[in-house]
Amino acid sequence: MIKHDSLGPEKLIEVYDPKTKLHGFLVIDNTLLGVAKGGLRMTPTVTLEETFHLARIMTYKNAIANLPFGGGKSGIVADVKKISQEEKSELIRGFSKAIKPLCPSRYIAGPDVNTGEKEMAEFVKANGSLKSATGKPATMCVKPGVECGLPHEFGSTGFGVVQAVLAALAFLGKNVEGMKVAIAGFGNVGGFVTSLLAKEKAKIVAISDSGGTTYNPKGLETKKIFDIKKKKGTVTANKDGEELSSEDIVTLNVDILIPAAYHETITAENVNEVKAKLIVEAANLAVKPDAEVTLYKKGVLVVPDIVANAGGVISSYAEYRGYNPKQMFTLIERKIKRNLGTVLGKSKAEKITPRQAALKIALDRLNRPTNSKHA
């Protein structure tokens, strides 16, 4: 159900074209801090209501990241496994043309589920403005070598999640080296988190994908897992690990759990089986609110998605400003660590969950937009 409140939503738009079977949604939730920013997803089940909830998350996420962006989100109803790349591109182009009057003055698109740099290239070509979307190919520039795209394939979200892990451990007075880590999800974000944490000398003991979990308490050879995933299609083909179900990864005896795949990975049904002492939400709403409160009472630190996975939208801001990749990664590291420090400090001082602290900070910034200092 879509509920209007003091924040929004400001615009709810539904696009439909019977000829191309285009059915899409755009929600501009709030523009108090700036133009609405949020990704474009393509799934067979996306709805206007889902798009609204995701747009509201972006409102909070951008405010917490202290970016001059409001919250927005868009979606196209499509099963990308059942259509060709050209059909997919046609839907992207049609949707972009339909919302052209609002881009980039009121809304800026970006990559999300089943969209990436190729789709963003199609979006901006159809829209007529390079500023209408971020996450574009690095070769798409205002002029050669100037204000080029920063595709999320660079790993901005995963990089930000790792910075959140490091900042949370520092807050707890711990070091990442030797920490046992379980990563639920081995897509773009989970893959980058795996490789980057391995470089930090964390002990990756479990990785899951849609096919199941591979687990070795002595540590997985991450380079080998990448090769197995590429050749066999699932991490469970790893012969040097115990094969478990995808759901079992939540219950393993690890120090850090990183849900990087789906929402509601941890619920009231399995929360009491969680053994990790630090959970960092790489995926949106990976821990249900009631489970999050339960974990907080048990002394488990949960770093909420609206802080932990903000690397993608911070990258979008860097692209919007014309930064290069090095400047982008520097900005993500600085913002994630600084913002998480603020959130955890407020959580400790007021004895509330980190999510509650983050939302308080976001609402304060949204209610006093003229006082915000960005970048």
| CATH classification of the domain holding 95 | 3.40.50.10860
309 has binding-site annotation: no
Extract the residue ranges of the chain whose pLDDT is less than 50. 371, 373
**284 to 9, 112, 113, 289, 303: CA distances (angstroms):** 20, 12, 12, 12, 11
Among candidates 70, 36, 112, 45, which has minimal Cα distance to 309? Answer: 112
Q: Tell me, what's the pLDDT at 168?
A: 98
Same domain, 144 and 155: no
Q: Which range of residues forms the domain containing residue 122?
A: 11-149
Please check whether residue 319 lies inside any domain of the structure.
yes
- Give the pLDDT score at 285: 87
Residue 374 pLDDT: 52
The number of domains in the chain is 2
* Domain identity same for 186 and 276: yes
- 157 assigned to a ligand binding site: yes
192 shares a domain with 143: no
Is 37 known to sit in a ligand binding site?
A: yes
Q: What is the pTM of this model?
A: 0.93
Tell me, rounded to whole angstroms, the distance of Cα 159 from its chain centroid: 11
Q: Which of 101, 131, 149 is the last residue of a domain?
A: 149
- Whether 272 and 375 map to the same domain: the answer is yes
- Rounded alpha-carbon distances, angstroms, from residue 36 to 98, 105, 182, 300: 17, 9, 34, 34
Please give the positions annotated as active site. 73
Shared domain check, 223 and 313: yes
Among 115, 149, 183, the domain boundary falls at 149
Q: Within this chain, do residues 29 and 173 fall inside the same structural domain, yes or no?
A: no
pLDDT at residue 370 in the model: 61
Query: What pLDDT is stored for residue 375 in this prediction?
Result: 54
Phi/psi at 262 (5° precision): -120, 160
Please report whether residue 180 resides in a domain. Answer: yes
State residue 262's pLDDT score. Answer: 74
Q: What is the pLDDT of residue 145?
A: 87
Domain of 233: which CATH number? 3.40.50.720
* Cα 96 to Cα 211: distance, rounded to the nearest angstrom: 35
Mapping DSSP to helix (H, G, I), strand (E, B) and coil, where does residue 190 land?
helix
**Considering only CA atoms, which of 10, 50, 5, 17 is closest in space to residue 34?**
10
Q: Where are the alpha helices (DSSP H) in the chain?
A: 48-64, 85-98, 117-127, 156-172, 188-199, 222-232, 289-297, 305-308, 311-321, 325-350, 354-367
Q: Is 316 annotated as a binding residue?
A: yes
